[in-house]
Structure 1
Amino acid sequence: MSHTPITYLIVPGWNGSPAGHWQSYWQQVLPNATRVEQQDWQRPGLEQWVATLARKIRGLNGPVVLIAHSLGCITVAHWSRQAAAEDLAKISGALLVAPADVERPGCPQALTGFAPVPATVLPFPSVLVGSTNDHAASCERALEFAVNWGSSAHILEQAGHINIDSGHTCWEQGLAFLYQLQEQADMHPRLLCA
């Protein structure tokens, strides 16, 4: 019986994940890792971002673990509501880090087109990691997202937006959350058939 290796799909947020970002580091150190490349990182558009994610997933074989940050988390939530069953069946799980609250007061105009944030349970296991002092989403909103999406939630103390600015370059602690997600995925019955 052949075993297809997991593909780790990095899903960056607004402005992408530059070289010093933990997502870029993980892409280098995780086996079989790749990333979504949006056409315009500075001017995100919901339909285009979701379509780009959908095309990337459709082109992958075997199980996929999504590793999303910020606006990438919101993109995943939107994609999951409209994705084809055969594409959803590929997803073993999603690590959702510092989801951006695109409905918050003072949200940058570039992100408001992603509102409202989907409030439906994701059809695959997920782990959400937020922070007590993330400017992009309060810990209360992060927990609300976790409940709505059916995610296991972890709120880190004073971790900011869990990006370069908050000192998260390699973010080796985050790998523990990835391993937790994979354990959940191993116990999760497949609800969809390819």
Structure 2
Amino acid sequence: MNPVILVPGLRGPSPEHWQEHLARRPGAVHLRTDRDPLDLDARCRDLEESVAAASGPVILVAHSAGVLTLVHWAQRFGPRTTDRVTEALLVTPPTLRSELPAVYPRLAQLEAAGWLPIPTRPLPFAATVCLSDDDPLGPPEQVRDLAAAWGAVVLGLGRVGHANPASGLGPWPLMDSLVTATLDEYYLAEAS
């Protein structure tokens, strides 16, 4: 079974987050949510170690700053492990063009820690950016520009805010269905 690796944003543990619900799927690996929000290096290492440890191809499901962790990881580690990724679902990436809410680090702190600039090279694997029409951290037109730079397709989710616990999505059946459809597509391609 393909592992599904869940790449969290800057939040800490949050049992009501949809990624926590996806983590209960067989084969799912949820990366640490207790990392220092500024420690991009540790977050990239966590992702590298999880992909390298997988017994076969993986699907990545990143949310918010987890998307930024993923694109930094892809740039840093290259084909050594990125060739194991069959697909990435990139959910509501922030664009970091304006300050985040007060609970998050300031842009100057994120830049000093290496989060900025956001890498804009094409990703070396298939990717889908899941776009919210009303995300306060990622205006749709800016997210579309990032998706184009990454070579990702865009899937509109409608009005789901930042797709975080404040958005009230809970288990979020839509995301569970997207992960299932991505796995099914992979297995169909392998069978042909």
Aligned match of 1:176? 177
Equivalent-residue separation in structure 1 for 2:187 and 2:148 (angstroms): 21
Find out whether 1:16 has 2:12 as its counterpart: yes
Cα distance, 1:187 vs structure 2? 7.9
Aligned match of 1:26? 22
TM normalised by structure 1 equals 0.84
* 2:13–2:33 contact (8 Å) kept in structure 1: no
Aligned match of 1:136? 137
- The sequence identity of aligned pairs, in percent, is 26
| Counterparts of residues 33-44 of structure 1 (less than 5 Å) | 33-37=28-32, 40-41=35-36, 43-44=37-38
TM normalised by structure 2 equals 0.85
Equivalent-residue separation in structure 2 for 1:159 and 1:46 (angstroms): 26
Aligned match of 2:123? 122
- Secondary structure, aligned partner of 2:14: coil
Cα distance, 1:52 vs structure 2? 2.1
Cα distance, 1:105 vs structure 2? 1.6
Cα distance, 1:6 vs structure 2? 0.3
Cα distance, 1:150 vs structure 2? 1.3
Find out whether 1:155 has 2:148 as its counterpart: no
- 2:93 is aligned, of 96, 99, 103, to 99
- Secondary structure, aligned partner of 1:106: coil
Aligned match of 2:61? 67
Equivalent-residue separation in structure 2 for 1:187 and 1:120 (angstroms): 29
Cα distance change on mapping 1:183 and 1:119 into 2, 3 Å:
farther
* 2:11–2:33 contact (8 Å) kept in structure 1: no
* 1:66–1:93 contact (8 Å) kept in structure 2: yes
What letter corresponds to residue 105 of structure 1 in structure 2? S
> What is the root-mean-square deviation in Å for CA atoms of aligned residues?
2.2
- Secondary structure, aligned partner of 2:23: helix
What letter corresponds to residue 132 of structure 1 in structure 2? D
Aligned match of 1:192? none
Equivalent-residue separation in structure 1 for 2:189 and 2:142 (angstroms): 26
- Secondary structure, aligned partner of 1:129: strand
* 2:134–2:159 contact (8 Å) kept in structure 1: yes
Cα distance, 1:46 vs structure 2? 2.0
